[in-house]
């Protein structure tokens, strides 16, 4: 793209050069130095992977330079900072992204090519950092990119899991999980800070001490584990600002070892060392429910405690007066997973800083904001009181204190409405007495955010209705967004160059609103030709990948119809598969001549099922069983193919999304909080086939209903349909395709029985039957539009043009202004 880069942009990146230079020759020298001294291979003989390692270290050096400058600048200016607490980050690969953000893609490619390497091949060597499950985790990664690019003084905090999200291996069509020991080949993107460590306490007892005549609580821990910081510099695009994602790893505390050594128990000391490390060893692979697991709770507290010690230490380095804390610190809870930060802050303020309960609580309520990412009740974690009492005894006391205060406040507002008091209480009575983490977060945060307009409405009218009625002013929403740097510039370089060419500027990479300028050319025939060419090349890339992973050859003339996301009943991959069976059935029953009218399709499905989620695993198997039948049927040929892409992750998404013609976002209305996959497809000019759920509602507002294929029950219709249950008239085609599965047409009759049961009669909770008719209509509309390539291309251009509102830059700007109260703090060039 540099050929088309404007002189202004070129100058901006030049100015950003630091001590290390970024011309190809300097880069080449640095690469060779790293080959020799870091990778310890001969500079005369090294392979692609070693080239990747050396180049990564070369880029890391440049990141470190900027990162130091940024941190120094923040320190000097002492702005209010936002601290983003999240248990999950799905960073994917870092090399290309960093190089793009540093503005040195072409220089690196030149440097490598003169050494006999190809940039793309070298970049492919990198594995994914998969420290998260799905949407929430990738959102955190996109938001970090935007925070850095927009110069906000921000820190991300999380856990450095040794095992990321499991690798999905498919054997005979069944999902198997394999551990993802992602650190096996080293991780050049992190810097271990052996001196940044904090003790994190667990278990033990709470005692009282008297200090200057005042009584204080003191927590005597039963176990102490050390948190060690690993810093991951996150570079912004077109700025020198490089912020920190600090991930904590658990290490045994020395003190513990010493005691064991003193008693001569060397073996136990070593075993304890390993036990301590388990806290940060594994990411929970379920993106919904984690109720009552001790290790999960330990992870939550571990990262929260270490982060808060770090944050308070940074504050105290400069300030003495805690009244200033809310002016300098915004704490963002990414979902309720980090909610133990609330009692932890209270504990530090009351027990350690001796601020007094009222002052402490007042400050606490001023610093926390919380975003919920779900509408599913099962994802609202509850902590059994017994568990909390044993693991964090002081925190339980604090939560009880907060709840008493809360109940008193409530009574002033609603009187003695005991049902409502019980519903809203932070403590849930019952067979298993538990702490409702969401209620704690709601009460103690100044702002509660939803992740789309519809989600926010559902929070207000259903999930958190009681709270909304009393504190409507707390409720906001910030529709999710994704970063165009990763999802266009890195993953679709040809489209990126094309957009810049037609807009006459690269500025849209930082200022996404400019994308709207493409609307002007939506009917321009030369743009159409170039647009189609770019899309075809991307399809070619995807077709090669499909052939390499599944051995299946697919036609580039077919419509590439994609559904990639976690496998869930509410996301309705089953609806998609049943639709594919219907398509297959139609082709089979058609006269040969009529088959010529069929629009060829390559249906692509990918996603992981949580290891214990039986129905999701059955859907994966069904997809394979149906694929086996269709792909080997000579009556069908290229008219229909079905592919399951294994081990879906961020880098696979980067390849699949640019090559998709159509993408499906077909959750039952009211179940997807936002959805961010749709935004990535939209940016890449892919057309959407979707229900009016989550952020799709806003996508419709932006690009218009005519520019996509909409179907299905609306959110307000869902409850009535559910009530109707088995009396709903489902189309005959639906009954037929379900019967085909039931009758063993695709084999595994017994195995699929329970899956079929979930979509029949009163059991069809996700309304597949009710939506099937309109789903088929939307599919037919997509076929019709695809035949008219001019129309399709126009719709595709308009999709990209209308995607600006769904950039994470917009989301972050909203958070900064309306929730965190922070301002940019740009490091001088």
Which residue has its beta carbon closest to ligand CBF? Answer: 135
Nearer to ligand CBF, 460 or 793 (CB): 460
> In this structure, what DSSP letter does residue 435 have?
E
Whether residue 142 contacts residue 482, with contact meaning beta carbons closer than 8 Å, is answered with yes
Whose Cβ is closer to ligand CBF: residue 134's or residue 338's?
134
The distance between the two most distant Cα atoms of the chain, rounded to a whole number of Å, is 95
- Could you list the residues that contact ligand CBF (CB under 6 A)? 134-136, 139, 287, 373-374, 451, 480, 672-676, 694
Per the CB < 8 A criterion, the answer to whether 667 and 693 are in contact is: yes
Q: Which is nearer to ligand CBF, 374 or 563 (CB)?
A: 374
Instruction: Name the residue with tokens 């789903």.
Output: 775
Kindly state the smallest distance separating residue 373's Cβ from ligand CBF, in Å: 3
Residue 123 or 451 having the CB closest to ligand CBF: 451
Which among 5, 34, 298, 373 is annotated as catalytic? 373
User: Can you read off the two tokens belonging to residue 631?
Assistant: 């792909």
- How many angstroms separate the first and last alpha carbons of the chain? 23
Distance CA 361, CA 368 (A): 11
Q: In sequence order, which ranges of 38-169 are alpha helices (DSSP H)?
A: 48-77, 95-102, 105-114, 119-123, 135-149
Q: Give the list of residues 6+ apart from residue 215 with CB closer than 8 angstroms, or none.
A: 208, 209
Closest to ligand CBF by CB, 287 vs 506, is 287
Least spacing, CB of residue 693 vs ligand CBF, in Å: 9
Nearer to ligand CBF by Cβ, of 89 and 560: the residue is 89
Cβ contacts of 321 within 8 Å, gap of 6 or more: none
**Is 373 among the catalytic positions?**
yes
Q: How far is the CB of 96 from ligand CBF (least distance, A)?
A: 23
- Which of 393, 426, 395, 432 lies closest to 408 in space, CA to CA? 426
**Residues 6+ away with beta carbon under 8 Å from 105:** 1, 2, 96, 99, 119
Can 597 be counted among the known catalytic residues?
Answer: no
Q: Which of 676, 691, 696, 819 is catalytic?
A: 676
Residues 6+ apart with CB under 8 A from 99: 59, 105, 108
Least distance between ligand CBF and beta carbon 137 (Å): 8
Q: Give DSSP secondary structure letters for 98-126.
A: HHHHHT-HHHHHHHHHHTT--HHHHHTTP
Query: CB 369 → ligand CBF: shortest distance, Å?
Result: 15
Q: What is the dihedral of CA 444, 289, 604, 791, to 10 degrees?
A: -30
Residue 290 C-beta: closest distance to ligand CBF, Å: 12
Q: Is the CB of 374 or the CB of 460 nearer to ligand CBF?
A: 374
Q: Out of 138, 474, 566, 671, which one is annotated catalytic?
A: 566
φ, ψ for residue 351, nearest 5 deg: -85, -30
Question: Residue 427's CB: how many other CB atoms inside 10 A?
Answer: 21
753 is catalytic: no
What is the nearest approach in angstroms of ligand CBF to the Cβ of residue 654?
18
Contact 764, 731 (CB under 8 A): no
Q: Evaluate whether 539 touches 636 at the Cβ level (below 8 Å).
A: no
Rounded to whole angstroms, how far apart are CA atoms 457 and 446? Answer: 18
Whose structure tokens read 């598969």? 577
Shorter beta-carbon distance to ligand CBF: residue 287 or 809:
287
CB closer to ligand CBF, 675 vs 802: 675
> Based on CB atoms, which residue is closest to ligand CBF, 305 or 374?
374
Mode of pairing for the β-strands spanning 205-211 and 214-220: antiparallel
What does the chain come to in residues? 829
Question: Nearest distance from residue 771's CB to ligand CBF, in Å?
Answer: 18
Shortest gap between Cβ of 76 and ligand CBF (angstroms)? 35
| Catalytic residue (choose from 138, 167, 568, 680) | 680
Find the shortest distance in angstroms from Cβ 699 to ligand CBF: 13
Q: How many Å apart are CA 615 and CA 758, to the nearest integer?
A: 9
Least distance from C-beta 258 to ligand CBF, angstroms? 42
Q: Which of 565, 621, 641, 810 is an active site residue?
A: 565
Phi-psi region of 172 (alpha: psi -120 to 50; beta: other; left: phi over 0): left
Identify the three-state secondary structure at position 239: coil
C-beta closer to ligand CBF: residue 326 or 712: 712
Tokens of 684: 């890449």
**Smallest distance, ligand CBF to C-beta of residue 379, A:** 6
Alpha helix (H) ranges present in 368-417? 385-391, 393-414
Contact 6, 505 (CB under 8 A): yes
CB-nearer residue toward ligand CBF: 672 or 771: 672
Is 676 tagged catalytic?
A: yes
Q: Could you confirm whether 566 is annotated as catalytic?
A: yes
Task: Please indicate whether residue 571 is annotated as part of the active site.
Answer: yes
Cα–Cα distances (Å) from 343 to 361, 404, 618, in that order, read 10, 14, 41
Comparing CB distances to ligand CBF, the nearer of 96 and 449 is 449
Q: How far apart (Å, rounded) are the C-alpha atoms in residues 623 and 646?
A: 12
Q: Whole-number minimum distance, CB 505 to ligand CBF, in Å?
A: 30
Contacts for 581 with CB less than 8 Å, ≥ 6 apart: 626, 737, 740, 741
3-state helix, strand, coil in the chain (%, to 5): 55, 15, 30
Query: In sequence order, what are the residues at sequence separation of 6 or more whose Cβ sits closer than 8 angstroms to the Cβ of residue 34?
Result: 53, 54, 55, 57, 58
Inter-axis angle of helices 135-149 and 95-102, nearest 10? 20
Residue 452 token pair: 């789309």
Beta bridge partners of 17: none
Please list the active-site residues: 373, 565-566, 571, 676, 680
């Amino acid at each position: 793209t540099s050929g088309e880069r404007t002189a202004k942009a070129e100058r901006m990146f030049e100015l950003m050069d630091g001590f290390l230079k970024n011309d190809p020759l300097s880069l080449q020298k640095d690469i060779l130095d790293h080959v020799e001294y870091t990778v310890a291979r001969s500079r005369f003989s090294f392979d692609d992977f070693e080239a990747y390692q050396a180049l990564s270290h070369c880029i890391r050096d440049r990141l470190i330079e900027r990162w130091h400058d940024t941190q120094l600048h923040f320190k000097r200016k002492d702005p209010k900072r936002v601290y983003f607490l999240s248990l999950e980050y799905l960073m994917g690969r870092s090399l290309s992204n960093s190089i793009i953000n540093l503005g040195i893609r072409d220089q690196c490619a030149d440097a490598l090519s003169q050494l006999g390497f190809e940039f793309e091949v070298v970049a492919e060597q990198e594995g994914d950092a998969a420290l998260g499950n799905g949407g929430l985790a990738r959102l955190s990664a996109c938001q970090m990119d935007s925070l850095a690019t927009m110069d906000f003084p921000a820190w991300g905090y999380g856990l450095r899991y040794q095992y990321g999200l499991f690798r999905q291996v498919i054997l005979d069509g069944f999902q198997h999980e394999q551990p993802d020991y992602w650190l096996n080949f080293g991780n050049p993107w992190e810097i271990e800070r052996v001196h940044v460590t904090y003790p994190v306490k667990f278990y033990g007892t709470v005692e009282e001490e008297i200090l200057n005549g005042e009584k204080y609580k003191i927590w005597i821990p039963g176990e102490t584990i050390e948190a060690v910081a690993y810093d991951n510099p996150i570079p912004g695009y077109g700025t020198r600002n490089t912020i920190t994602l600090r991930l904590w790893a658990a290490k045994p505390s020395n003190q513990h070892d010493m005691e064991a050594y003193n008693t001569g128990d060397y073996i136990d000391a070593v075993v304890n060392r390993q036990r301590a490390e388990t806290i940060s060893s594994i990411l929970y692979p379920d993106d919904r429910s984690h109720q009552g697991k001790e290790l999960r709770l330990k992870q939550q507290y571990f990262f929260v405690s270490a982060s808060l010690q770090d944050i308070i230490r940074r504050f105290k380095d400069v300030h003495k007066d805690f009244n200033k804390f809310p002016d300098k610190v915004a704490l963002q809870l990414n979902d309720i997973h980090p909610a133990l930060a609330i009692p932890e802050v209270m504990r530090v303020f009351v027990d350690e800083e001796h601020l007094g309960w009222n002052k402490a609580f007042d400050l606490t309520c001023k610093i926390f904001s919380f975003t919920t990412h779900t509408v599913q009740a099962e994802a609202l974690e509850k902590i059994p009181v017994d568990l909390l009492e044993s693991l964090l005894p002081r925190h339980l006391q604090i939560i009880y204190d907060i709840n008493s205060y809360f109940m008193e406040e409530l009574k002033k507002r609603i009187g003695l409405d005991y049902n409502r008091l019980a519903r809203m209480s932070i403590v849930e009575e019952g067979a298993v007495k538990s702490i409702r983490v969401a209620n704690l977060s709601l009460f103690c945060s100044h702002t509660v955010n939803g992740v789309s307009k519809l989600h926010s409405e559902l929070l207000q009218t259903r999930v958190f209705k009681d709270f909304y009625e009393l504190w409507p002013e707390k409720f906001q929403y910030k529709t999710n967004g994704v970063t165009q740097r990763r999802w266009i510039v890195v993953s679709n370089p040809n489209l990126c160059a094309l957009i810049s060419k037609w807009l006459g500027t690269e500025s849209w990479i930082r200022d996404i609103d400019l994308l709207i300028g493409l609307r002007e050319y939506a009917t321009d025939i030369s743009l159409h030709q170039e647009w189609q060419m770019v899309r075809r090349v991307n399809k070619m890339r995807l077709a090669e990948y499909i052939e390499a992973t599944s051995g299946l050859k697919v036609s580039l003339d077919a419509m590439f119809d994609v559904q990639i996301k976690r496998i869930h009943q509410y996301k309705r991959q089953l609806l998609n598969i049943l639709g594919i069976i219907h398509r297959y059935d139609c082709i089979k029953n058609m006269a040969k001549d009529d088959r010529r009218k069929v629009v060829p399709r390559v249906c692509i499905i990918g996603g992981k099922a949580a290891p214990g989620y039986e129905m999701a695993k059955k859907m994966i198997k069904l997809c394979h069983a149906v694929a086996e039948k269709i792909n080997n049927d000579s009556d069908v040929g290229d008219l229909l193919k079905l592919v399951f892409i294994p081990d879906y992750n961020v880098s696979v998404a980067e390849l699949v999304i640019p090559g998709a013609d159509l993408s499906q976002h077909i959750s039952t209305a009211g179940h997807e909080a936002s959805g961010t996959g749709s935004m990535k497809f939209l940016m890449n000019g892919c057309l959407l086939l979707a229900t009016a759920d989550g952020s799709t509602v806003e996508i419709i507002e932006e690009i218009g209903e005519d520019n996509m294929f909409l179907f299905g029950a609306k959110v307000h219709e869902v409850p009535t349909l559910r009530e109707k249950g088995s009396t709903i008239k489902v189309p005959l085609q639906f009954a037929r395709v379900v019967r085909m599965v039931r009758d063993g047409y695709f084999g595994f009759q017994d195995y699929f029985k329970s899956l079929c049961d979930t979509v029949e009669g009163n059991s069809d909770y996700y309304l597949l039957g009710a939506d099937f008719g309109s789903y088929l209509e939307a599919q037919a509309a997509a076929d019709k539009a695809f035949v008219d390539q001019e129309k399709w291309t126009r719709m595709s251009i308009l999709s990209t043009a209308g995607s600006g509102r769904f950039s994470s830059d917009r989301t972050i700007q909203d958070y900064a202004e309306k929730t965190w109260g922070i301002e940019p703090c740009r490091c001088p060039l």
